[in-house]
Amino acid sequence: MRTARLFFIALALFSLSAQAQWAGPSTQRAGKWETNFGLYLTSSESSDGLNESSVDIDSGYGFGFGVGYNFTQHLALRFDGAWSRADYDAILDTEDEGLVEINHRLSAFTGQFNGVWNILEGPFTPYLQAGIGWTFLDSNVTDGPPTTGCWWDPWWGYICSGFYSTYNETNFSYNVGAGLRYEFGRGMFVRGGWERTAIDGGSGADPEFDAFRAEIGWLF
């Protein structure tokens, strides 16, 4: 969290001092759509829940993508998605066995509708964002016996396989973020930034985590 705060403060100070130097000629992102993809890295996080339950999530990695529309040179609306995986240790309060410790790997997908303010009009600009959406968390821990399904294959005949259901949930989440963006010729751009996402767990555990994006995109 300290690193994220320092990054945000430094970015805000830099954006104020850079306006005159980097304003430059205006690019034509206003009225255009854009799409992007790239790396997505998450920080470690710990959260305590009800009845001594808790979860400790290691830093993780994955990929991010997005699509958006630029209403003006400054204002844009985007949908940003990200998939990531991370190892975790959890203590769960169960009805039959009491407190149970789990060590596994978490899969997560986050989708957010973000309002973005590009501070400068030129090809280089810091940006600020805020948005709401949802986060899907999959513990990858089975919640019961497998379900067996069978189907006919024209080459191999009948094939049967087991499918496992896992403990998972989808929760409301929201974020704030900041970053830097630079637009090249031919509609290409790169951007990188930090975002802080908070998840409404609904059970006393409301984890928050920092994430960092490094992405390449195109205007069209």
Of 8-17, 20-29, 51-60, 158-167, minimum mean pLDDT range: 8-17
Structure token pair of residue 53: 């339950």
Q: What is the mean pLDDT of residues 17-45?
A: 78
Distance CA 91, CA 146 (A): 24
The overall average pLDDT reported for the chain is: 85
3-state secondary structure at position 44: coil
Domains and CATH numbers, the chain: 2-139+169-219 (2.40.160.20)
Give me the pLDDT at residue 160, please.
85
Distance CA 184, CA 178 (A): 20
92, containing H or E segment: strand 75-94
**Residue 40 near residue 135, CB atoms below 8 Å:** no
Give me the pLDDT at residue 46, please.
82
| Residue keyed to tokens 């994430």 | 211
Q: Is the pTM of this model over 0.85?
A: no
Q: What are the distances in angstroms from CA 168 to CA 88, 108, 125, 135, 142?
A: 14, 10, 39, 11, 10
Helices (H), 161-200: none
Q: What is the mean pLDDT of residues 168-179?
A: 95
Q: What is the mean pLDDT of residues 195-217?
A: 85
